[in-house]
Structure 1
Amino acid sequence: MSDQSDHFDLVIIGGGPGGYSAALYGASAGLKVAMVEKDALGGTCLNRGCIPAKAFLETAAVKRHVDHAEDFGIETKSEASVAFATAQERKQGIVKNLVNGIGAMCKGRKVEVFNGTGSLRAGRTVDVALGDGGSATITGDFVMLASGSVPRLIPNFERGGPIMTSDEVLDLDWLPERVAVIGGGAIGCEFASTFADLGSEVTILEGLPKILPGLDNDVAKVVQKSFKKKKITTKTGVMVNGHTPNDSGGTVVQYGDGESVEVDVVIVSVGRRPYADELGLDGTGVVVDDRGFVEVDEYCRTGEDGVYAVGDLINTPQLAHVGYAEAILVIKHLLGENPMPVMYDRVPWAIYCHPEVAWAGPDEQQAKEAGHDVVVAKHPYKFNSRAMILGETEGLVKVIAKKRPDGTAGQILGVHMVGPWVTEQLSGGYLAVNWEASVDEVAEFIQPHPSLSELFGETVLSLTGRNFNG
């Protein structure tokens, strides 16, 4: 492509969740939009994160269901085997369809997509090094930075061979027999759950005193107990020191005080860092802090007039749906619509390990530390009829509410869930937290029966002082 120059209402650097949602939302509001993406549309979430990881988790769920088919009266002649290359092919098909879908929507809304690397300089000018070797210079009334994040690395565990980050492990087309997961956070626990359910021998190595350190204690205990049943070995409070490759293509990981584990694959899952490496920014007022995050205000504005930043590039929860929310916020703000900033302390969270985890608002300890007197109710899934029907009775729903002066429960502060399909059930709790609804108000709403979601309703109802179940 030959050199070219053009001007747009909005130029976006990055085609991940924050970038493409801003492009589509902005275009639907009548803006002339350009988007620069050096890789496939959809960013990390679609190509190397949320979507492919959940596709593998679903493969693991199917394996789990088949293993327990006889409990439902379905006789199987032999134990299910895993053709992981087929799972990989299925995952790639899902990703391809979604990437093509984003491209079609961009074309339909006349978003001009530049395949290349964009760097910002003064005057809201973006230089694009195009993938075909050409270049382009584009300008915008506004610019959004949405270049996302990349996996964090640790010393002595360089990528290659058996050492993988989430990028590489999602390209596996074979099932490792032994897996070490370094990092017991959300991403690490999702991988541990996936491979354990598929039949791998899994060891989690976590430097903190417990896995999933950000979870409500009651919720975390359910996951820890479930992982023990899956025979996942969990080593907490240990640091990894290095590894020694073996003759079979695997490696021996050294950790703690002289301990080691021999595995076929090591998944380094210690978080992600913002990727501002190629943004340029020379001559602009955009500030990158010492951790690599672009500094913004509550409207995602940087220090450069007319330049915004969203998603993993800024120090907000690294969640695709938060990127969506920030994108909408930016478009409304640049259009002068006076939007409300994102309330980061109330966003929905979801972890897709088995059992699933989902929550909105503070947990019990956080609510108390914030100075609230609280009333707490929690109900287990083991008495829920739908959970029994599914054969998935692990877990609970926990609701944290403010205590009124008379000792009764008032405003719902937090809703925390662990169990079957809780990522699909959270919406009611999320709405209750964000609308600052009271226990009495939510208790008036009818939940379908039999359903998993009625456990949330019953838990709230119990906070009124009356209940018909449990």
Structure 2
Amino acid sequence: MSDQFDVIVIGGGPGGYSAALYGASAGLNVALVEMDALGGTCLNRGCIPAKAFLETAAVKRHVDHAAEFGINSGGPATVDFARTQARKQGIVDGLVGGIAAMCKGRNVEVFNGTGSLGPGRTVGVAMNDGSKAIITGTNVILATGSVPRTIPGFDRGGPIMTSDEVLDLDYVPSRVAVIGGGAIGCEFASTFADLGAEVTILEGAPKILPGLDKDVAKVVERSFKKKKIALKTGIMVNGHEPNDSGGTKVNFGDGESVEVDAVVVSVGRRPLADHLGLEGTAVVVDERGFVQVNEFCETGEPGVYAVGDLINTPQLAHVGYAEAILTIKHLLGESPMPVMYDKVPWAIYCHPEVAWAGPGEQQAKDAGHDVVVGKHPFKFNSRAQIVGETEGLVKVIAKKNADGTAGQILGVHMVGPWVTEQLSGGYLAVNWEATVDDVAEFLQPHPSLSELFGETVLSLTGRNFNG
């Protein structure tokens, strides 16, 4: 193994492996240090496994409603969750193997161990086989990611799980409490409810999905209630009392409780800087555990960058990808544009799905904009009716021109069928600072779900042929 590299990346998650591969494609000599499996949280314990479970839930929904399409399935669908788990693991293993193959193909040297940064961009690696390595980089990128946050009184074990443990289940618990009604919590709640579990969401904020545009959040809340998900909002969780059957009673609010077989603690994630060392460097970790960086993801130590969940930016894999590209371009002296965090695409994969870019209506107003808003529901969309998924809407927020007409598109917010696959047009409109008149010229295929975005924008021109 070499001991001198152009770039050393510590952490093999989305931010880390993409920096390594992108740097190698630019001709750099790259080392990648990862203490666990390549792919990080996203691939092994996050995005990919969770979405595999959500797809199983979607298949069950389709089978349950097959008779509406003239398909007789022969009775209610049953769930073999051990098979679901095996399918999920097969997907994960294949993707992990793919990253390893790409690293090999681009001559990225992979060190299987825990990396710590010292002075002079020297990285010590405690190898998983018990040996040690010392390597030095002209540049170092810190990308060690994050781990689930926990709450007092809810230590992992038995019925108490974080996203790490719940993704290893090979059965569907009959009764599930999800502590936390944010994006991840709502995805787990949606999954287990669609698979037949009784689900309760316990959320401290007044509503689930706090911060979401209110019209979008209302659709999710209404849909969850139809699934018989119990929503307990504006409450404090006070602890739990295990029972003899392996479950527990979760206490919350003013003397309320719920008996469940599993508890999923989903209260966010904290940055994982625990093993980075950093002694003798000018890298600064703030009181919340985030590594401090500037707009180019540079730390206070020359030649050292940090990306992904390790820094205080949106905890999204695709943001990690963007930061990885930014750092490589910057260290190559290519003068890249910093990531515009207020305009990144967001996606929540619960049912119904949620996707957006740019501010919601209230956020835009709070920022001082006078706005014009267009909204169209999926219930009148022909493709939505064909696929049997008519819940949801598209909402477009635009600046109001001096003459009262709609101008620049500020935000695009969607909730409904496959909106995570439809957002790209809205994302481009927001980031190109396109106007309503610009986007109204673009054709949308018919029949398609994406027509709704086009029609919503068209309505903001003051004319429309539908709705």
What's the TM-score once normalised by structure 1's chain length?
Answer: 0.99
Which residue of structure 2 aligns with residue 56 of structure 1? 53
Q: Aligned pair 1:134/2:157, yes or no? A: no
Instruction: Please state whether the residue corresponding to 2:41 is helix, strand or coil.
Output: helix
| 1:77 to partner: Cα distance | 1.7
CA distance in 1 between counterparts of 2:344 and 2:213 reads 16
2-side partners of 1:459 and 1:333: how far apart? 39
Contact 1:5 1:136 in 2 (8 A): no
| Separation in 1, partners of 2:386, 2:315 | 35
Q: Say which SS state the counterpart of residue 123 (structure 1) adopts.
A: helix
CA distance in 1, matches of 2:111, 2:72: 54
Identify the residue that residue 285 of structure 1 maps to in structure 2. Answer: 282
Residue 429 of structure 1 and its aligned partner are, at CA, apart by 0.1
TM-aligned CA deviation for residue 76 of structure 1: 2.0
- Note the alpha carbon deviations across 1:86-140, whole angstroms, 9 max, x for none: 0000000000000000000000000000000000000000000000000000000
Aligned twin of 1:150: 147
Q: 1:13 aligns with which of 3, 10, 15?
A: 10
Contact map agreement 1:125 1:140 (CA 8 A) in 2: yes
**1:78, distance to aligned residue in structure 2 (A):** 1.0
| CA deviation after TM superposition for structure 1 residue 309, in Å | 0.1
1:429 aligns with 2:426: yes
Indicate whether 1:411 and 2:408 are aligned. yes
**Matching residue of 2:104:** 107
Q: Which residue of 1 aligns with 2:388?
A: 391
4+ residue segments displaced more than 4 Å: none
Comparing 246-255 with 45-54, greater Cα deviation is found at 246-255
Equivalent residue for 1:71?
68
1:86 to 80, 83, 88: 83
Structure 2 residue aligned with 1:229, among 205, 221, 226? Answer: 226
Is the CA contact (8 Å cut-off) linking 1:5 and 1:137 kept in structure 2? no
The residue that corresponds to 2:466 in the other structure is 469
How far apart are 1:214 and its partner, in Å? 1.4
The residue that corresponds to 1:32 in the other structure is 29
Checking the alignment, whether the CA contact within 8 Å between 1:178 and 1:263 is kept in structure 2 is yes
1:59-79 CA-partner distances (Å, limit 9, x unpaired):
000000000000000012210
Kept after mapping to 2: 8 A contact 1:162/1:265: yes
Taking the TM superposition and a 5 Å limit, the aligned residue runs for 1:338-377 are 338-377=335-374
Q: Equivalents in 2 of 1:312, 1:418: separation in Å?
A: 26
Q: Counterpart of 1:201?
A: 198
Q: CA deviation at 1:5?
A: 6.1
Aligned to 2:322: 325
1:127-276 aligned at under 5 Å gives the runs 127-276=124-273
Cα deviation 1:404-447 (Å, max 9, x = unaligned): 00000000000000000000000000000000000000000000
Mapped to 2, the partners of 1:457 and 1:223 lie a distance apart of 23
Gap runs ≥5 in structure 2: none
Q: Which residue of the partner structure matches residue 459 of structure 1?
A: 456
Can you list the C-alpha shifts for 1:324-354, whole angstroms capped at 9, x where unaligned? Answer: 0000000000000000000000000000000
Which SS does the other structure have where 2:3 is aligned? Answer: strand
Indicate conservation of the 8 Å contact 1:311/1:326, yes or no: yes
What SS does structure 1 have at the residue aligned with 2:259?
strand
1:295 aligns with 2:292: yes
Counterpart check, 1:380 vs 2:377: yes
Instruction: Return the alpha-carbon distance in structure 1 between the equivalents of residues 9 and 21 of structure 2.
Output: 11
Q: 2:310 aligns with which of 301, 309, 313?
A: 313
SS in 1 for 2:415: strand
Q: 1:432 aligns to what SS in structure 2?
A: helix
Aligned residue type for 2:206: P
Partner Cα separation in structure 1 for residue 324 and residue 48 of structure 2: 20
Counterpart-to-counterpart distance in 2, 1:436 and 1:442: 10
> Which whole-Å CA distance do the structure 2 matches of 1:422 and 1:457 have between them?
14
- Checking the alignment, whether the CA contact within 8 Å between 1:219 and 1:417 is kept in structure 2 is yes
What one-letter code is carried by the residue in structure 2 that aligns with 1:215?
Answer: L
Which AA in structure 2 matches 1:381? F
Secondary structure of 2:422's counterpart equals helix
